[in-house]
Amino acid sequence: MKVTALTLLILHINSLIDSGKYNDITISDVHTAIENRGLLRFIKKRCGSDIDLSIHLESKVYGDFESFYEQQINQIYGGYAGDERRKWGIENLGLCLVLAWTNEIIQSGEGLELSSRG
């Protein structure tokens, strides 16, 4: 998977957080969506036209991004759910958790490749 797919997702999530419109998405909401292996689809449904996940959900530009992402996020959830405050300093906003855990996927480097330019 290309890192750019994840960094683009981070930009979208960051914009949602900045809007303040989705501060009611809880950590529990995120946990439930992860357990259902549908975090990206939950975010899309909840945030509607405020987020464009078409390249992540409907396109094959990044292969099967949805499966890759849901698997990676589920692994983090399995190891760290409940430790969000201690490990990432997050205890209030579900989208902040999504941002932190998406960043964690990048930091782990598992299954990732840098985009080549030129």
Could you tell me the CATH number of the domain that includes residue 75?
A: 1.20.120.600
Tokens of 49: 């036209």
- Reported pTM: 0.91
Going by C-alpha positions, the residue among 22, 92, 91 that lies closest to residue 50 is: 22
Is there a domain that residue 115 lies in? no
Domain count, the chain: 1
Is there a domain that residue 114 lies in? no
Q: Any idea which residue has 């900045």 for tokens?
A: 18
Residue-level pLDDT, tens digit, the chain, 118 residues: 889 999 999 999 999 999 999 999 999 999 999 999 999 999 999 999 999 999 999 999 989 999 999 999 999 999 989 889 999 999 999 999 999 999 999 998 887 777 554 3
Is there a domain that residue 15 lies in? yes
Given this model, what pLDDT does residue 67 score? 95
Is there a domain that residue 18 lies in? yes
66 near 40, Cβ under 8 Å? yes
Give the length of the chain. Answer: 118
How buried is residue 25: exposed, middle or buried, by Cβ count under 10 Å (0-12/13-18/19+)?
Answer: buried
Tokens of 54: 């078409």
Q: What angle, rounded to 10 degrees, do the helices at 94-108 and 3-19 form?
A: 160
